[in-house]
A = this chain, B = another copy of it.
Amino acid sequence: MSRFAIGVDLGGTNLRVAAINENGGLFDQLSFLTEVEKGREDVVDRLSKGILQLVERWKDIYQLAGIGVGIPGILKMKEGILVASPNLPGWENFNIRAQIARRLNSPFYLENDANAAALGEKWIGSGRACDHLCFLTMGTGIGGGLILNGKIWHGVAGMAAELGHVTIYPNGRLCNCGNYGCLEAYAAASAVVKAAKEILESGKASSGLQKAASAGTKLTSAIIYRLAREGDASSVSIFEGVGRALGLAIANFINIFDIDTFVLGGGAVDAWDAFEKSMFEEVPKRSYIYRNDPRKILKSHLGNQAGLFGAAYLAFQS
């Protein structure tokens, strides 16, 4: 009897529950809107019911290997408490493990969503062939996941891989974490918008960016990326800055870990062609290890499904 696992990806907007086999084949999926406004108990209800539904549907055909749940935010791994989550307002210090456990009556793995995504990429994504992987997810913020010897590296308090909050420009922009110059403040989607606003305020913006701003549409990183593709000088330079920030951070990670595979995911990775040149220029400048022995820096293969696959893999891996 072949095995399957349930993977859950709880996002701020979407909640997905999938049945995945040991070869990485996703053969059944339920998708909900998260609807955080209905309250966290309601979200946990739907999440748990989704799991039970898929288990019920397949448990006589395949053997259930286990259940994995990816959660956005800072988790106290031992206690199963969600300390804070920018994507789930009102869930601070929520004992999510206890809440799910009460509804499921069967064991499950809980994991930070970026860690789960890193594991997914290592399993059947861009990091398939490697033992160690560093994953960066570029969304509104920047999340990170570290795979060492094939397993998620949690650190002593389960807080490892806060890679978006590594200082890269000590006197740089204020970050949401209270520090100045974090990677997140220079390479997240929100940082792209911040950089555009700074250029606009300086009065030195090129015409494309100026027009977009004065047209009254809300500036997003997607719009600025479109402008960069059209050749707008300010927008091009903003994404060059993103690449330099990423390159600097990745070079540091290479010097620290001597890891061979880096995978970039998240929505802002769509702008890859706008930042890759400056990123690949910066890494060798900052790392003699890389100069002597280049490493792989790749786009996510699984896209927004990385976390779903990684969550399921938690069960297969155990």
Contacts and interface: CB of A to CB of B under 8 A. Distances in A.
B169 A258 contact: no
Oligomer: number of copies: 2
A179 interface: yes
A3 interface: no
A170 interface: yes
Contact of A168 (B157, B165, B170): B170
A157 B293 contact: yes
Interface band, chain A: 35 or more
Contact of A258 (B159, B168, B256, B258): B159
Given A132-B155, A156-B259, A251 B288 contact: no
A109 interface: no
A203 interface: no
Interface string A37-50: 00000000000000
Given A132-B156, A148-B148, A155-B259, 4 more contacts: A132-B155, A156-B260, A165-B287, A252-B252
14 contacts: A154-B258, A155-B258, A156-B258, A157-B258, A158-B258, A159-B258, A159-B289, A160-B258, A162-B288, A166-B252, A166-B256, A177-B288, A179-B285, A179-B288
